[in-house]
A and B are shown apart, each in its own frame.
Chain A
Amino acid sequence: MMPRPPARSLGFTLVEVIVAMTLTGIVVAGTLKALTAQRKFYTRQARILDARHAMRASTIILASEFREASATGGDLYAVAADSVALRSTVGFAIVCNVSGVSGTLSLKHLSGHFRLDAADSVLVFAEYGASDADDVWRALPVVGISTAGSNCDSGETADRVVTVTGDLSGIWVGAPLRLFRAYVFGLFEFNGRWWLGRRNRGSGPDYVPVAGPLAPPGDGGLQLTYYRQDGATTVNPSLVSRVHISVRAPTDRTLADPAYRDLSTSTYLRNDG
Chain B
Amino acid sequence: MSLIGIIASQNYPRSFTVDYLVIAGGGGAGFIGGGGGAGGYRCSVSGENSGGGSSAESSLTLAPSTNYTVTIGGGGTGGVSGTGATTGVDSVFSTITSSGGGTGGSAGATFNGGNGGSGGGAKRDGGTGGTGTANQGTNGGTTPNGDFRGASGGGGASTAGGGGTGGNANNETGGNGGNGIASSITGSSVTRGGGGGGYVEGANATPGTGGSGGGGNGQKQSNSGSAGTVNTGGGGGGGNPSGGNGGSGVVILRYPSSITITIGAGLTGTESAASGGYKRATITAGSGNVSWS
* Same complex: no
